[in-house]
Amino acid sequence: MLKPIPYKIILASNSPRRRELLAGLGLDFEVHVIKGISEAYPNDLPVEEIPQFIAREKASAYEVKPNELVITADTVVVVDDASCGSVVLGKPHDTNEARHMLHAISGKTHRVITGVCLTTHNDQRQFGVTTEVTFRKLTDDEIDYYISNYRPFDKAGAYGIQEWIGYIGVTGINGSYFNVMGLPVQRIWQELQLMCD
């Protein structure tokens, strides 16, 4: 018999993909988002730590009641460039930025890193999950078609793996597919079970 989760779970995210993924675990939860939380981070922070830092910042904005558990998360795409090291791709602000990001991941392997915080009244668990994704070389027409039809401005790296661009472009994945969608649900389930012990 599965252990019941002894908390009222709150997902602190507007992302429809995160809502869908968390619902897939069969958990009851509410969505509550505090607007205006900064997603800035120190310039000298190692790229692997950026999503966890932002997830912690999001968590610190919530006043968590004794019976509540708040889930905060942040996802970044990291492209390793020979000339300038690791480049972090967040959400594109416009079409030109989305086009630039898709060209940056085209024909390469990049890392998708999601940082998660599980916060209760007197405890906090945090972790990061990394997945490697390989894209074949995309044509300019494919990139423009995807941007104009799917408008990926709410997605880190300007793409959703579960959308058309993932169908036609992704040639390999090493790690959690759901992490690339924005929420490493397998690891979240594992951590929730540990919190119930």
CA dihedral 62, 63, 69, 72 (to 10 degrees): 10
Residue 123 among the catalytic residues: no
- For 114, phi then psi, to 5°, come to -115, 125
Residues in the chain: 197
Given 44, 74, 141, 144, which residue is catalytic?
74
Helix (H, G, I), strand (E, B) or coil at 78: strand
Rounded CA gap, 50 and 33, in Å? 20
Cα Rg of the chain (Å, integer): 17
Which residue numbers are catalytic?
A: 74
